[in-house]
Amino acid sequence: MGNPVVHFEIMGKDEKKLEKFYSDAFGWEMHPAQPGYSMVHAGDGAGIGGGIGKDDAAAVRFYIDVEDVEATLEKVKKLGGTVVMPAQKTPQVTFARFADPEGNIIGLSKM
C-alpha cells in the first residue's frame, strides 16, 4: 500500500476571506493554530484534515504521510523533483515541500 494523503492547505493573501468562504460554502469549522493559519475541521472524521492560511500567492497543496521526511526528499531529488522547503520540525509534525518534475508543489509530513 502507498503513502496516504493526510493534510491539505488552501493558501492566499487574505486568509480570513478564505476561511469565511469555505466555512460558509461547506460548513467547515476554523480553529486558529498560529497567526495567519487555521486548522480546518469538517465534522465527523470523514475525509482528511486541512488548514487555511496566509501566503504571498494562492496555492492548494496536499501532504503525503511518509516514514522519514528527509530520506523521502533525497528520493524525490533522485527522481527529478526539487526541494522547495527543507524539513521543518515542530513539536507536532515534521514537514517539507517539493516540486515534482512538472512544477507541482507537494508536501510531505511525519506526525
| Radius of gyration for the chain, computed over Cα atoms and rounded to the nearest angstrom | 14
Cα 99–101–103 angle (5° rounding)? 45
Same domain, yes or no: 50 and 20:
yes
Say which residue, 28 or 1, is predicted with more confidence: 28
Residue 90, domain extent:
66-111
Same domain, yes or no: 55 and 70:
no
Same domain, yes or no: 41 and 77:
no
**Over pLDDT 70: what percentage of the chain?**
98
Question: What is the tens place of the pLDDT at every residue in 22-69?
Answer: 999 989 999 999 999 999 987 776 689 999 999 999 999 999 999 999
The answer to whether residue 4 is domain-embedded is no
Same domain, yes or no: 72 and 45:
no
Number of compact structural domains in the chain: 2
The answer to whether residue 97 is domain-embedded is yes
The answer to whether residue 1 is domain-embedded is no
